[in-house]
Amino acid sequence: MEKEMRYFHEASLTDQEGRLRTMRIPVVQELARSGIDHLPKRFTRVPPTDRTSYTLNFPPVINVARLKEGSEADGRAAELARLASGVKEWGLVLVTEHGIGSSVLHGVRDAVEGFFGLSFEEKKRCVGSYASVDNLGYGRNFVRSDDQPFDWIDRLAMKAAPPGADGGLDVWPRKPPNFRMGVQRIGWCTNRAIFFEGEVRHDQWSMDCKAST
């Protein structure tokens, strides 16, 4: 399989003998573009034999409006508990009633679609790699063994750092031109929606978040 791979990501893993080595992982987007007839074996998973014990879980859904100062106390406490649980157990939550304008949401969608619309070579040229900064960048990670099934995904991982911080920003895509602003705006607005709800703020990014819907 490796001999036929034209497009691949590289992942580092430690084998059973403690040696660090590099594995080539097929690029999912390029596999899909090639019109494959069947899913490669490394992307298949064996379903559990005891299906009665299998449950499908989802991250908790947080109603951001209930986190506002002045909200009903019990409801706010319950929402905060769900938020803490989601961060601890999933590392993420789903949100509703966040108040973020549709122009901001469309902006980040267009920016991400623009990046993944680039050719594989262009994506590699315009963004850092996992090898450069703390598992950030374009490619794959979380590969731990030779027989681990691969996820059907090409990952772009970045730090959504606040203005003035530079941690991880050197791996942000330089193309398309609207990428940085689109992602920064959604990061700023999400931060405000979760942590600053109920406070009066007049700086530039808070005004951006109120873009008309």
Contact between residue 62 and residue 95 where contact means Cβ atoms under 8 Å apart: yes
Reading phi first (left if > 0) and then psi (alpha if -120 to 50, else beta), residue 161 is in beta
Residues contacting 213, CB < 8 A, separation 6+: 101, 102, 103
Residue with tokens 């905060």: 80
**What pLDDT, on the 0 to 100 scale, is given for residue 54?**
57
Q: Taking residues 166-188, report their average pLDDT.
A: 79
48 compared with 185, residue with greater pLDDT:
185
Q: Is 203 helix (H, G, I), strand (E, B) or coil?
A: coil
Report the distance separating Cα 190 and Cα 195, nearest Å.
Answer: 8
Q: Contact, 42 vs 150, CB < 8 A?
A: yes
Cα(4)–Cα(168) distance, integer angstroms = 33
Residue 137 has pLDDT above 70, yes or no: yes
Q: Between helices 102-116 and 179-195, what is the axis angle to 10°?
A: 140
Average pLDDT over residues 106-113: 92
- The confidence score (pLDDT) of residue 15 equals 76
Confidence of residue 65 (pLDDT cuts 50, 70, 90): confident
Residue 9 tokens read as 């990501």
**Span 131-136, average pLDDT:** 55
* Phi/psi of residue 140, nearest 5 degrees: -130, 160
pLDDT of residue 208: 45
The yes-or-no verdict on residue 123 having pLDDT over 70 is: yes
pLDDT band at 113 (very low <50, low <70, confident <90, very high): very high
Q: Does 45 have pLDDT greater than 70?
A: yes
- The 10s digit of each residue's pLDDT in 73-95 is 888 888 888 888 888 888 888 88
Mean pLDDT across 109-136: 80
- What's the pLDDT at 145? 80
Whole-Å CA distances, 63 to 78, 90, 177, 194: 10, 17, 33, 10
The DSSP symbol for 2 reads: G
For residues 183-208, give the mean pLDDT.
58
Average pLDDT for residues 3-7, to the nearest whole number?
69
60-69, 115-124, 191-200: range with lowest mean pLDDT:
191-200
Report the CATH architecture of 58-209: Sandwich (2.60)
How far is it, in rounded angstroms, from Cα 137 to Cα 139?
Answer: 7
Q: What is the domain partition of the chain in residue ranges?
A: 58-209
Mean pLDDT over each residue of the chain, to the nearest integer = 76
How far, CA to CA in Å, does 21 sit from each of 11, 42, 140? 8, 18, 15
